[in-house]
Amino acid sequence: MSDLFTTITTPNGKSLEQPLGLFINNEWVKTAEVFETINPSTEKPICSVYRAGAAEVDKAVEAANAAFKSPEWSNLTGSERGDLLYKMSQIIKRDAEAIASIESLDNGKPYANECLAADLVESYEVFKYYAGWSDKHTGQLIGSQVLGKNKICYVEPVPLGAVGGIVPWNFPFMMMAWKIAPALATGCTVVMKSSEITPLSALWYGKVALEAGLPKGVLNILSGFGADVGSAMVSHPKLAKIAFTGSTFTGQKIMEGAAKSNLKKVTLECGGKSPFIVFDDSDLDLAIEWAYWGIWYNKGEVCTSTSRFFIQEAIYDKFLEGFVKLTNERAVTTNPFDDKCTIGPLVSKLQYEKVSKYVAKGKEEGAKLLSGEFLDGPGYFCKPFIFADCTDEMAIMKEEIFGPVVSITKFKTVEEAIERANSTTYGLAAALFSNNITKAHSVASKLEAGMVFINSNGDSDIHVPFGGSKMSGIGRELGSYALDLFTENKAVHVNMTVPFK
């Protein structure tokens, strides 16, 4: 048993028992291979975890399917499932400091200001929220007043069965919560794959499941790579759905694979290149505050990051001055366990190199660099990059960078702002600032995005659907809308006439 766990001491002084094995059928499982996970602050290995492959996917899917049919799970009432979800929320809440410590170590996000204060809070709140939904996602009766006096029909939302989830490295624990909680609330069983870059915090769900008393096989956690584990899940004929968060390119591959296998349902939350529009009748100080938060939160490694700023020309220079000033004052790039840290290291060497290439490309294409620099190692640290006087044809204006880089341009008219904001293949989020409420609502209605924020930026909420349009994905997570994506509406027709003659 000892080689399935290791003790990790984090920079904030916590000594934690970290799971290393896969979690399948309520057991910790070893495999023939392991892989390292790297601390982005030091570029040194933290530990090695056991690596799943196609065989382990089969075992996890079989366990999930057996659990779905078992009386220990299938006979539970909605209230009883809700009790289990509530227990999970309280365990996560109790252990939030430990989980946040592991995640900050593995991902590089600021421990106090982001991981503990936001991500872990939302994680346990999501489980509590869906605990409340477990006995309220009811069906519909279509009565004889509609169908005729001799017939009724009832529509029952039935769980899909064993479902799969694949999460990215930017919110390793919270993205798991977004998928696990509504799936369990509806009565599904789950196989989850973490990112190979940040596998550690996800494994804590095994601890949570055991302590909360989930029946065997209801929740399974796999550490591994997309090429084998992800592909095996997508093509598996006994998974009824894949819920995915990640890149648009991978989302396309998942959709293709799902179609070729068993036409399993897919929910895709993919990339973004979200616009941030500031009109000259806005509260400029308010806009600058939200601009800062909307691009620099989590090092810019956020799908909804507003990485394209469109500022009306009359206030362009004043906005630039205020935004650069605020960034230089507040953006503290340092070890994520320093309480002053607001910008931790980029998550990996690969991401560091990607951001480096885009910064070089921005300079090469003629954008004006106002602020930002790469810092000497160890660690994948940089100060946030602010580019001004950008044009829509520049790579930094068109392509998702997924890092602390913002591209700023000016516009003249409302119509121009809308047209240029929509000139992207993405459609995840958008933010706009104006004190003219009529203008604000009119512009919001014309922006091609799944989420629009008026006089705020990226402050999504677990009660509200989250998702995008165009190449940013399919379906919605969070709110009651997520429940529909883990259920099938079964119509039962009841004939109340005399026997057929």
Just list the catalytic residues: 269
β-sheet bridge partners, residue 220: 191
DSSP letters, 343-384, are B---S-HHHHHHHHHHHHHHHHTT-EEEEEEEPPSSS--EEE
Rounded Cα gap, residues 280 and 433, in angstroms = 9
- In this structure, the strands spanning 15-19 and 140-142 are unpaired
3-class DSSP assignment, residue 439: helix
What is the side-by-side order of every strand in the sheet holding 368-374? 368-374, 382-388, 405-411, 308-312, 275-278, 429-433, 451-454
Rounded Cα gap, residues 107 and 120, in angstroms = 14
Q: What b-and-e string marks burial along 384-417, b requiring 16 or more CB atoms within 10 Å of the CB?
A: bbbbbebeeebebbebbbbbbbbbbbbbeebeeb
β-sheet bridge partners, residue 24: 27
Query: In this structure, are residues 314 and 413 in contact, taking their beta carbons and an 8 Å threshold?
Result: no
In eight-state DSSP terms, residue 413 is S
Helix (H) or strand (E) holding 432: strand 429-433
In eight-state DSSP terms, residue 113 is I
What is the side-by-side order of every strand in the sheet holding 22-24? 27-29, 22-24, 219-222, 189-193, 162-166, 241-245, 265-269, 473-474
Tokens of 161: 């069965």
Rounded Cα gap, residues 414 and 197, in angstroms = 42
